[in-house]
Structure 1
Amino acid sequence: MPITLHDAFVPTAQQILRAVRGLVDKAERHCAENGVADSELIEARLADDMWPLPWHVRSCWVHSGYAINRFKTGVFTPDFTDIPDDWDAMRDQIDDALTQLDAITPDTLEELAPQTVGFELGGQRLMEMTGQNFLLSFTQPNLFFSCLHIL
Protein backbone atom coordinates (compact mmCIF):
# COMPACT_ATOMS: atom_id res chain seq x y z
CA MET A 1 0.00 0.00 0.00
CA PRO A 2 1.53 3.34 -0.99
CA ILE A 3 2.10 5.95 1.66
CA THR A 4 -0.05 9.06 1.42
CA LEU A 5 1.21 12.61 1.71
CA HIS A 6 -0.86 12.89 4.87
CA ASP A 7 0.89 9.84 6.34
CA ALA A 8 4.30 11.21 5.41
CA PHE A 9 3.76 14.66 6.90
CA VAL A 10 0.95 15.09 9.42
CA PRO A 11 1.72 12.44 12.09
CA THR A 12 5.40 13.43 12.15
CA ALA A 13 4.55 17.11 12.47
CA GLN A 14 2.11 16.31 15.28
CA GLN A 15 4.75 14.27 17.10
CA ILE A 16 7.30 17.06 16.79
CA LEU A 17 4.85 19.70 17.98
CA ARG A 18 3.89 17.61 21.02
CA ALA A 19 7.59 17.20 21.84
CA VAL A 20 8.13 20.96 21.50
CA ARG A 21 5.18 21.60 23.80
CA GLY A 22 6.70 19.22 26.34
CA LEU A 23 10.00 21.08 26.14
CA VAL A 24 8.26 24.41 26.70
CA ASP A 25 6.57 22.92 29.79
CA LYS A 26 9.93 21.56 31.02
CA ALA A 27 11.67 24.87 30.48
CA GLU A 28 9.00 26.73 32.44
CA ARG A 29 9.22 24.19 35.29
CA HIS A 30 13.01 24.44 35.29
CA CYS A 31 12.80 28.21 35.70
CA ALA A 32 10.23 27.98 38.50
CA GLU A 33 12.03 25.20 40.40
CA ASN A 34 15.50 26.74 40.12
CA GLY A 35 14.79 30.43 40.53
CA VAL A 36 15.80 31.18 36.96
CA ALA A 37 14.17 34.18 35.33
CA ASP A 38 11.87 33.07 32.50
CA SER A 39 13.63 35.53 30.20
CA GLU A 40 16.91 33.63 30.54
CA LEU A 41 15.49 30.63 28.69
CA ILE A 42 12.95 32.47 26.57
CA GLU A 43 15.67 34.70 25.12
CA ALA A 44 18.36 31.97 25.01
CA ARG A 45 20.11 31.36 21.69
CA LEU A 46 22.39 28.55 20.59
CA ALA A 47 24.59 31.16 18.89
CA ASP A 48 24.56 34.96 18.91
CA ASP A 49 23.25 35.21 15.35
CA MET A 50 20.40 32.71 15.82
CA TRP A 51 16.79 33.18 16.78
CA PRO A 52 15.70 32.80 20.42
CA LEU A 53 13.26 30.13 21.55
CA PRO A 54 9.99 32.00 20.72
CA TRP A 55 11.07 32.45 17.09
CA HIS A 56 11.69 28.73 16.75
CA VAL A 57 8.30 27.96 18.29
CA ARG A 58 6.72 30.33 15.77
CA SER A 59 8.67 28.66 12.97
CA CYS A 60 7.29 25.28 14.06
CA TRP A 61 3.81 26.83 13.80
CA VAL A 62 4.62 28.30 10.36
CA HIS A 63 5.97 25.00 9.01
CA SER A 64 3.08 22.82 10.10
CA GLY A 65 -0.64 23.65 10.02
CA TYR A 66 -0.15 27.18 8.73
CA ALA A 67 1.95 25.90 5.82
CA ILE A 68 -0.74 23.45 4.77
CA ASN A 69 -3.42 26.11 4.97
CA ARG A 70 -1.29 28.49 2.86
CA PHE A 71 -0.54 25.62 0.49
CA LYS A 72 -4.28 25.44 -0.22
CA THR A 73 -4.10 29.00 -1.63
CA GLY A 74 -1.17 28.19 -3.93
CA VAL A 75 1.12 30.72 -2.22
CA PHE A 76 3.25 30.23 0.88
CA THR A 77 4.58 33.30 2.64
CA PRO A 78 6.00 32.76 6.12
CA ASP A 79 4.23 34.66 8.88
CA PHE A 80 6.49 35.89 11.66
CA THR A 81 4.22 38.69 12.84
CA ASP A 82 3.09 37.06 16.09
CA ILE A 83 6.18 35.91 17.96
CA PRO A 84 5.13 34.51 21.36
CA ASP A 85 6.52 36.36 24.35
CA ASP A 86 5.87 33.94 27.20
CA TRP A 87 5.34 30.26 27.98
CA ASP A 88 1.55 30.42 27.58
CA ALA A 89 1.79 32.16 24.21
CA MET A 90 4.22 29.48 23.01
CA ARG A 91 1.86 26.72 24.15
CA ASP A 92 -1.05 28.50 22.47
CA GLN A 93 0.79 28.58 19.13
CA ILE A 94 1.75 24.93 19.41
CA ASP A 95 -1.83 23.98 20.30
CA ASP A 96 -3.12 26.03 17.37
CA ALA A 97 -0.74 24.23 15.00
CA LEU A 98 -1.94 20.87 16.33
CA THR A 99 -5.56 21.92 15.86
CA GLN A 100 -4.84 22.96 12.28
CA LEU A 101 -3.15 19.62 11.58
CA ASP A 102 -6.04 17.69 13.13
CA ALA A 103 -8.37 19.35 10.62
CA ILE A 104 -6.37 18.19 7.58
CA THR A 105 -7.81 15.09 5.94
CA PRO A 106 -5.81 12.62 3.87
CA ASP A 107 -8.06 13.34 0.88
CA THR A 108 -7.35 17.06 1.09
CA LEU A 109 -3.59 16.54 0.91
CA GLU A 110 -3.85 14.02 -1.90
CA GLU A 111 -5.90 16.51 -3.93
CA LEU A 112 -3.36 19.26 -3.27
CA ALA A 113 -0.21 17.16 -3.81
CA PRO A 114 0.17 17.76 -7.57
CA GLN A 115 -0.82 21.43 -7.46
CA THR A 116 1.80 24.16 -7.67
CA VAL A 117 2.63 26.24 -4.64
CA GLY A 118 4.81 29.33 -4.84
CA PHE A 119 7.16 30.46 -2.08
CA GLU A 120 7.01 34.23 -1.75
CA LEU A 121 9.10 36.44 0.48
CA GLY A 122 9.28 40.20 0.44
CA GLY A 123 6.73 40.36 -2.35
CA GLN A 124 8.87 38.23 -4.66
CA ARG A 125 8.13 34.70 -5.82
CA LEU A 126 11.37 32.88 -5.12
CA MET A 127 10.41 29.38 -6.24
CA GLU A 128 7.57 27.12 -7.26
CA MET A 129 7.12 23.45 -6.51
CA THR A 130 4.47 20.78 -6.37
CA GLY A 131 2.53 20.48 -3.15
CA GLN A 132 4.22 17.19 -2.41
CA ASN A 133 7.68 18.72 -2.79
CA PHE A 134 6.59 21.76 -0.81
CA LEU A 135 5.59 19.65 2.19
CA LEU A 136 8.32 17.00 2.07
CA SER A 137 11.32 18.92 0.71
CA PHE A 138 10.70 22.41 2.04
CA THR A 139 8.26 22.55 4.95
CA GLN A 140 9.20 19.35 6.75
CA PRO A 141 12.97 20.08 6.81
CA ASN A 142 12.25 23.60 8.09
CA LEU A 143 10.05 22.14 10.82
CA PHE A 144 12.82 19.71 11.80
CA PHE A 145 15.41 22.52 11.75
CA SER A 146 13.42 24.71 14.13
CA CYS A 147 12.56 21.81 16.40
CA LEU A 148 16.22 20.82 16.68
CA HIS A 149 17.10 24.32 17.83
CA ILE A 150 14.59 23.99 20.63
CA LEU A 151 16.00 20.66 21.75
Structure 2
Amino acid sequence: MPLSLHAAYVPSALQMLGTATHLIDTAEKWGVENECSEGEIIGTRVFEDMLPWCYQIKCVAEHTQGSIEGVRAGVYSPDLNPPPTSFEALRTKIAGAVDAMNALTEDEMEAMIGQPMRFEFKDRGMDFTAEDFLLSFSQPNFYFHCATAYNILRMKGVPVGKMDFMGRVRIKA
Protein backbone atom coordinates (compact mmCIF):
# COMPACT_ATOMS: atom_id res chain seq x y z
CA MET A 1 0.00 0.00 0.00
CA PRO A 2 1.44 3.39 -0.97
CA LEU A 3 2.12 5.96 1.70
CA SER A 4 -0.63 8.59 1.85
CA LEU A 5 0.10 12.31 1.90
CA HIS A 6 -1.49 12.39 5.35
CA ALA A 7 0.88 9.67 6.62
CA ALA A 8 3.89 11.39 5.06
CA TYR A 9 3.11 14.82 6.50
CA VAL A 10 0.82 14.93 9.54
CA PRO A 11 2.63 12.60 11.97
CA SER A 12 5.94 14.41 11.35
CA ALA A 13 4.26 17.79 11.78
CA LEU A 14 2.73 16.63 15.07
CA GLN A 15 6.09 15.27 16.21
CA MET A 16 7.81 18.62 15.66
CA LEU A 17 4.90 20.55 17.18
CA GLY A 18 5.32 18.34 20.25
CA THR A 19 9.03 19.12 20.24
CA ALA A 20 8.28 22.84 20.03
CA THR A 21 5.94 22.59 23.03
CA HIS A 22 8.58 20.66 24.97
CA LEU A 23 11.20 23.29 24.10
CA ILE A 24 8.92 26.07 25.34
CA ASP A 25 8.29 24.25 28.62
CA THR A 26 11.98 23.42 29.05
CA ALA A 27 13.09 26.98 28.28
CA GLU A 28 10.60 28.42 30.73
CA LYS A 29 11.64 26.05 33.53
CA TRP A 30 15.34 26.61 32.88
CA GLY A 31 14.83 30.37 32.83
CA VAL A 32 13.19 30.34 36.26
CA GLU A 33 15.86 28.05 37.72
CA ASN A 34 18.71 30.12 36.27
CA GLU A 35 17.29 33.61 36.71
CA CYS A 36 17.18 34.17 32.96
CA SER A 37 14.23 36.32 31.94
CA GLU A 38 11.54 35.22 29.54
CA GLY A 39 12.43 38.14 27.28
CA GLU A 40 16.09 37.17 27.16
CA ILE A 41 15.32 33.61 26.11
CA ILE A 42 12.62 34.58 23.65
CA GLY A 43 14.81 37.22 22.03
CA THR A 44 17.97 35.13 21.68
CA ARG A 45 19.44 34.72 18.21
CA VAL A 46 22.23 32.48 16.94
CA PHE A 47 23.65 35.41 14.98
CA GLU A 48 22.52 39.01 14.86
CA ASP A 49 21.20 38.62 11.29
CA MET A 50 19.03 35.61 12.22
CA LEU A 51 15.54 35.78 13.64
CA PRO A 52 15.02 35.20 17.39
CA TRP A 53 13.96 32.06 19.25
CA CYS A 54 10.30 33.15 19.42
CA TYR A 55 10.23 33.51 15.64
CA GLN A 56 11.66 30.01 15.21
CA ILE A 57 8.91 28.55 17.41
CA LYS A 58 6.25 30.59 15.56
CA CYS A 59 7.50 29.20 12.25
CA VAL A 60 6.98 25.61 13.38
CA ALA A 61 3.28 26.49 13.58
CA GLU A 62 3.37 28.51 10.37
CA HIS A 63 4.90 25.70 8.34
CA THR A 64 2.38 23.16 9.66
CA GLN A 65 -1.00 24.80 10.20
CA GLY A 66 -0.20 27.79 8.00
CA SER A 67 0.94 25.60 5.14
CA ILE A 68 -2.26 23.55 5.22
CA GLU A 69 -4.28 26.77 5.19
CA GLY A 70 -2.17 27.89 2.23
CA VAL A 71 -2.87 24.67 0.33
CA ARG A 72 -6.58 25.13 0.93
CA ALA A 73 -6.34 28.68 -0.45
CA GLY A 74 -3.97 27.72 -3.27
CA VAL A 75 -1.37 30.26 -2.15
CA TYR A 76 0.92 30.58 0.84
CA SER A 77 2.70 33.74 1.93
CA PRO A 78 4.66 33.82 5.17
CA ASP A 79 3.01 35.54 8.12
CA LEU A 80 5.24 38.55 8.68
CA ASN A 81 3.48 39.67 11.85
CA PRO A 82 5.71 39.80 14.92
CA PRO A 83 5.98 36.49 16.76
CA PRO A 84 4.39 35.92 20.16
CA THR A 85 6.58 37.33 22.93
CA SER A 86 5.68 35.13 25.88
CA PHE A 87 5.97 31.44 26.59
CA GLU A 88 2.21 31.23 27.07
CA ALA A 89 1.44 32.95 23.77
CA LEU A 90 3.89 30.63 22.00
CA ARG A 91 2.18 27.61 23.60
CA THR A 92 -1.17 28.91 22.37
CA LYS A 93 0.21 29.30 18.82
CA ILE A 94 1.59 25.76 18.83
CA ALA A 95 -1.60 24.33 20.39
CA GLY A 96 -3.65 25.83 17.56
CA ALA A 97 -1.39 24.15 15.02
CA VAL A 98 -1.69 20.81 16.86
CA ASP A 99 -5.47 21.11 16.77
CA ALA A 100 -5.37 21.91 13.05
CA MET A 101 -3.13 18.91 12.29
CA ASN A 102 -5.29 16.58 14.39
CA ALA A 103 -8.39 17.74 12.51
CA LEU A 104 -6.97 16.75 9.09
CA THR A 105 -8.36 13.59 7.61
CA GLU A 106 -6.66 11.27 5.19
CA ASP A 107 -9.46 11.87 2.68
CA GLU A 108 -8.98 15.64 2.84
CA MET A 109 -5.22 15.34 2.38
CA GLU A 110 -5.53 12.86 -0.49
CA ALA A 111 -7.94 15.26 -2.22
CA MET A 112 -5.18 17.91 -2.12
CA ILE A 113 -2.84 15.85 -4.31
CA GLY A 114 -2.25 17.50 -7.66
CA GLN A 115 -3.83 20.82 -6.69
CA PRO A 116 -1.88 23.86 -7.84
CA MET A 117 -0.12 25.68 -5.03
CA ARG A 118 1.85 28.92 -5.12
CA PHE A 119 4.35 30.23 -2.62
CA GLU A 120 4.68 34.03 -2.67
CA PHE A 121 7.15 36.16 -0.76
CA LYS A 122 7.67 39.82 -1.58
CA ASP A 123 8.37 39.90 -5.34
CA ARG A 124 9.14 36.19 -5.66
CA GLY A 125 6.93 33.20 -6.25
CA MET A 126 7.24 29.47 -6.78
CA ASP A 127 4.63 27.16 -8.23
CA PHE A 128 4.09 23.68 -6.79
CA THR A 129 1.56 20.93 -6.55
CA ALA A 130 0.09 20.73 -3.06
CA GLU A 131 2.02 17.56 -2.20
CA ASP A 132 5.33 18.93 -3.45
CA PHE A 133 4.80 22.15 -1.50
CA LEU A 134 4.05 20.25 1.70
CA LEU A 135 6.82 17.67 1.36
CA SER A 136 9.63 19.66 -0.26
CA PHE A 137 9.05 23.14 1.16
CA SER A 138 6.85 23.11 4.24
CA GLN A 139 8.22 19.97 5.89
CA PRO A 140 11.91 20.96 5.61
CA ASN A 141 10.96 24.38 6.98
CA PHE A 142 9.25 23.08 10.12
CA TYR A 143 12.24 20.82 10.79
CA PHE A 144 14.67 23.72 10.20
CA HIS A 145 12.87 26.11 12.53
CA CYS A 146 12.44 23.49 15.24
CA ALA A 147 16.14 22.56 15.01
CA THR A 148 17.12 26.24 15.15
CA ALA A 149 14.98 26.76 18.28
CA TYR A 150 16.66 23.71 19.83
CA ASN A 151 20.12 25.03 18.89
CA ILE A 152 19.40 28.44 20.40
CA LEU A 153 18.52 26.77 23.70
CA ARG A 154 21.74 24.71 23.53
CA MET A 155 23.68 27.90 22.88
CA LYS A 156 22.08 29.47 25.98
CA GLY A 157 23.17 26.49 28.08
CA VAL A 158 19.75 24.87 28.44
CA PRO A 159 20.37 21.15 29.05
CA VAL A 160 18.54 19.67 26.07
CA GLY A 161 19.73 16.67 24.09
CA LYS A 162 18.90 14.84 20.92
CA MET A 163 15.82 13.13 22.39
CA ASP A 164 14.45 16.55 23.37
CA PHE A 165 14.55 17.39 19.66
CA MET A 166 13.36 14.01 18.42
CA GLY A 167 10.21 14.14 20.49
CA ARG A 168 7.72 11.32 20.36
CA VAL A 169 8.96 8.83 17.80
CA ARG A 170 6.57 6.34 16.26
CA ILE A 171 7.87 3.03 17.56
CA LYS A 172 6.32 -0.30 16.73
CA ALA A 173 3.65 -1.14 19.30
Same fold (TM over 0.5): yes
CA distance in 2 between counterparts of 1:119 and 1:73 reads: 11
- Of all paired residues, the percent bearing the same amino acid is 35
What code does the residue aligned with 1:114 have? G
Is the contact between residue 66 and residue 100 of structure 1 (CA under 8 Å) also seen in structure 2?
Answer: no
- In structure 2, what is the equivalent of residue 135 of structure 1? 134
Whether 2:149 is the aligned partner of 1:150: answer: yes
Count of equivalent residues = 150
SS across alignment from 1:35: coil
Structure 1 segment 18-37 matched on structure 2, within 5 A:
18-37=18-37
- In structure 1, what is the equivalent of residue 4 of structure 2? 4
After TM superposition, the score normalised by the length of structure 2 is 0.83
CA distance in 1 between counterparts of 2:116 and 2:27 reads: 39
Distance apart, 1:46 and its partner CA:
1.1
Is the contact between residue 24 and residue 90 of structure 1 (CA under 8 Å) also seen in structure 2?
Answer: yes
What code does the residue aligned with 2:95 have? D
Structure 1 segment 29-68 matched on structure 2, within 5 A:
29-68=29-68
Distance apart, 1:80 and its partner CA:
2.6
Is the contact between residue 115 and residue 131 of structure 1 (CA under 8 Å) also seen in structure 2?
Answer: yes
CA distance in 2 between counterparts of 1:62 and 1:80 reads: 10
Q: Structure 1's 82 and 49: CA in aligned 2 closer, same or farther, altered over 3 A?
A: closer
After TM superposition, the score normalised by the length of structure 1 is 0.95
Structure 1 gap ranges (5+): none
1:49-92 Cα distance to aligned partner (Å, 9 max, x none): 11111111111111001211111111111113151011001100
Is the contact between residue 4 and residue 106 of structure 1 (CA under 8 Å) also seen in structure 2?
Answer: yes
SS across alignment from 2:127: strand
- In structure 2, what is the equivalent of residue 118 of structure 1? 118
Cα RMSD of the aligned pairs, angstroms, is 1.1
Is the contact between residue 39 and residue 85 of structure 2 (CA under 8 Å) also seen in structure 1?
Answer: no
Structure 2 gap ranges (5+): 151-173
Distance apart, 1:48 and its partner CA:
1.4
What code does the residue aligned with 2:13 have? A
Distance apart, 1:25 and its partner CA:
0.4
Structure 1 segment 58-137 matched on structure 2, within 5 A:
58-122=58-122, 124=123, 126-137=125-136
CA distance in 2 between counterparts of 1:130 and 1:70 reads: 12
Q: Structure 1's 141 and 26: CA in aligned 2 closer, same or farther, altered over 3 A?
A: same
